[in-house]
Amino acid sequence: MNFTGKTVVVTGSASGIGQATAEAFAAHGAQVILADLALDKAREVAAGIVARGGKAVAIHLDVANDASIAQFAADAARQVGEVHILANVAGWGKVQPFVDNDADFWERVVDINFLGPVKLIRALLPGMMERKTGRIVNVSSDAGRVGSLGETVYSGAKSGIIGFSKGLAREMARYGISVNCVCPGPTDTPLFAKVPEKHQEAFIRAIPMRRLAKPSEIAHAVMFFASEDAGYVTGQVLSVSGGLTMVG
């Protein structure tokens, strides 16, 4: 895959799947905009990409804040220019029984995992529509396909992104813009490391391949949907879970 001449926005790129995705795109020739709330860490990742001969810049983004999304879109346009590919990777959640959730928790989960990506897409979409080309890849979760114990509202938010992506794919096809979803299973990330150890062990036992995904393995799926190889693919959902969820 060759992304030379393409500018890619990757949210949540200061660590985990987002970092792996940003690094993978840069290694394949893209100019990468690392968008993250943890700006200092995102700058470190960007500096590493540049040191390896890639092109990268870090810009602050809080996907749960409308003003931050608007400012990010303006900063990206001013510093880099046109955005050709958007990878919505940022996400957040924690394992907790639904009856122990409070309203603030629900709102944060929905804002970060559903409304944030929706609003960022809305901010960057006009340019893609004007150019009649673009790639949007939303990282959902297998929790959004089959549900996940202790992640009920998270599962709902991630399921919402799947449905949203399919609807948007239908609307944007006439503009040459594809919209697809990657659904990771349990992945070796800082967020997963916060899951109680007994739950981590249960997840791994349930995976036919008996291991967690590497962040780079999720990144490769994101790149496929963003590539010319997937030029005739839109509205699709790809599970990358080691066989954990084998459903249609």
SS3 track for the chain: CCCCCCEEEEECCCCHHHHHHHHHHHHCCCEEEEEECCHHHHHHHHHHHHHCCCEEEEEECCCCCHHHHHHHHHHHHHHCCCCCEEEECCCCCCCCCHHHCCHHHHHHHHHHHHHHHHHHHHHHHHHHHHHCCEEEEEECCCHHHHCCCCCHHHHHHHHHHHHHHHHHHHHHHHHCEEEEEEEECCECCHHHHCCCHHHHHHHHHHCCCCCCECHHHHHHHHHHHHCHHHCCCCCCEEEECCCCCCCC
154 catalytic per annotation? yes
Which residue in the list 3, 25, 114, 154 is annotated as catalytic? 154
SS3 track for 52-67: CCCEEEEEECCCCCHH
Active site residues: 154
